[in-house]
Amino acid sequence: MSPNTSSAAALKRAHAACAARGLAFTPIRQRVLQLLLEHEKGLKAYDLLALIKAEQPGATPPTVYRALDFLTEHHLAHKIERNATFVACTQAGHATPSLFLVCPQCGAVTELQDKSVMQALCRSLAAAGHRLDDPEVEIAAICPDCRAS
Amino acid sequence: MSPNTSSAAALKRAHAACAARGLAFTPIRQRVLQLLLEHEKGLKAYDLLALIKAEQPGATPPTVYRALDFLTEHHLAHKIERNATFVACTQAGHATPSLFLVCPQCGAVTELQDKSVMQALCRSLAAAGHRLDDPEVEIAAICPDCRAS
DNA sequence: GACATGGATGTGATGTTATAACATCGCGCT
DNA sequence: AGCGCGATGTTATAACATCACATCCATGTC
């Protein structure tokens, strides 16, 4: 499957998800998601803004932040807090909580699903009286490519 | 043990650790650590700056960022990426990797040590070809106080 | 058709977080 | 004294994010 194909498929899924939930998947929102899908390592808000501006000169920070708010709110994209970057969500429905492995060298983000780890985590939290809130956990981990070098 | 006492003890430990490693624990660095110790929920860099400025009017952003860099580099404080806040390290030597539970409601930070969770995490990462880099993992979890309300 | 409503977007300014770049100080060393 | 070097001072700016208010436009209602 070429990157292009999977990106198109993801966009289609997003379309369907919005339709099903009565959400307005407007051109700006689509375009932002598409750009995120095309950039596997994620994009910073202002890089995204620059890309959008090339097509739509009137774009300003709120233009992209609003789209990003929409996408993250509806789980079509994630914000990597560590780097202030945004990535498209690659897991279809990502019903289960995700681990995000962020490579501190190159910035690559890998979305990992590991039920047993998450369970262990939740048990540990519960023992401390806490309750997991945001099921998106970021972890700094050297990626295989950077490990090699 | 009163907060004051433990804060003083932590400062003393930091002093000793710096002496042992030949690091300059300068007045600014001490003061910043002390302020972090006095504010359990952590401080933002610019709030810290305001506090420092009250005592030392010439202080500027680099003044505090340098002190914070020093403290985090030498594991005397941690940066909570999620909130861009800084907290003093409360674990004596924190030889083992830590989980930081960050309450998204109130911002409280709890440092948790759970070997088994970390092991599970490392196993999972290794299976994906990654290697844990920064042993400080942040997790959003509602704290007991906020859970109650 | 007129018109209210509410979400989406446009627009300009501002707030917040962090670093760059270069000067200076002060201390230990020879 | 003169040097080297880490810490600090100082000015400016980069990078990330939000506020506030105006406007547009699709939809429902009378």
A26 closest-nt by C1' vs CA? C8
Choose from B81, B134, B139 for mutation: most chain A CBs within 10 A: B139
Would you state the pLDDT for residue A66?
A: 98
Distances (CA, A) of A140 to B63, B129, B133: 27, 13, 6
Q: How many Cβ atoms are within 10 Å of A106's Cβ, its own excluded?
A: 13
Write out pLDDT tens, residues B116-133: 888 888 888 899 899 887
Of the candidates A53, A48, A45, the one whose C-alpha atom is nearest the C-alpha of residue A81 is A45
Q: Cβ of residue B28 near strand D, that is under 7 Å?
A: yes
Q: Give the distance, in angstroms, between the CA of residue B33 and the centroid of all CA atoms in the same chain.
A: 9
Q: Are B51 and B44 in contact (CB under 8 A)?
A: no
Q: Cβ of residue B22 near strand D, that is under 7 Å?
A: no
**What is the pLDDT tens value at each position of chain A, 149 positions in all?**
555 667 889 999 999 999 999 999 999 999 999 999 999 889 999 999 999 999 999 999 999 999 999 999 999 999 999 889 999 987 765 566 788 898 888 888 888 888 888 888 888 889 989 988 777 888 888 888 888 87
pTM score of the predicted model: 0.89
Would you state the pLDDT for residue A12?
A: 93
Q: Are B128 and B121 in contact (CB under 8 A)?
A: no
Would you state the pLDDT for residue A105?
A: 81
Q: Is A141's CB within 8 Å of B130's CB?
A: yes
A79 backbone dihedrals φ, ψ, rounded to 5°: -100, 130
Name residues whose C-beta falls within 8 Å of residue B2's C-beta, 6 or more positions apart in sequence. none
Distances (CA, A) of B112 to A42, A123, B41, B117, B127: 30, 13, 15, 11, 24
Would you state the pLDDT for residue B57?
A: 95
Percent of chain B whose pLDDT exceeds 90: 50
Which residue did the predictor score with more confidence, A148 or B102?
Answer: B102
The pLDDT confidence band at residue B54, using thresholds 50, 70 and 90, is very high
Half-sphere exposure (CA, 13 Å, Cβ side) for B12? 6
Write out pLDDT tens, residues B5-48: 578 899 999 999 999 999 999 999 999 999 999 998 899 999 99
CA of A60 to C1' of C14 (A): 14
Chain-wide mean pLDDT for chain B?
A: 89
The tokens 């279809």 sit on which residue? A92
Q: What average pLDDT does the segment B62-76 reach?
A: 97
Contacts B136 to A, Cβ<8 Å: 140
Q: Is B141's CB within 8 Å of A132's CB?
A: yes
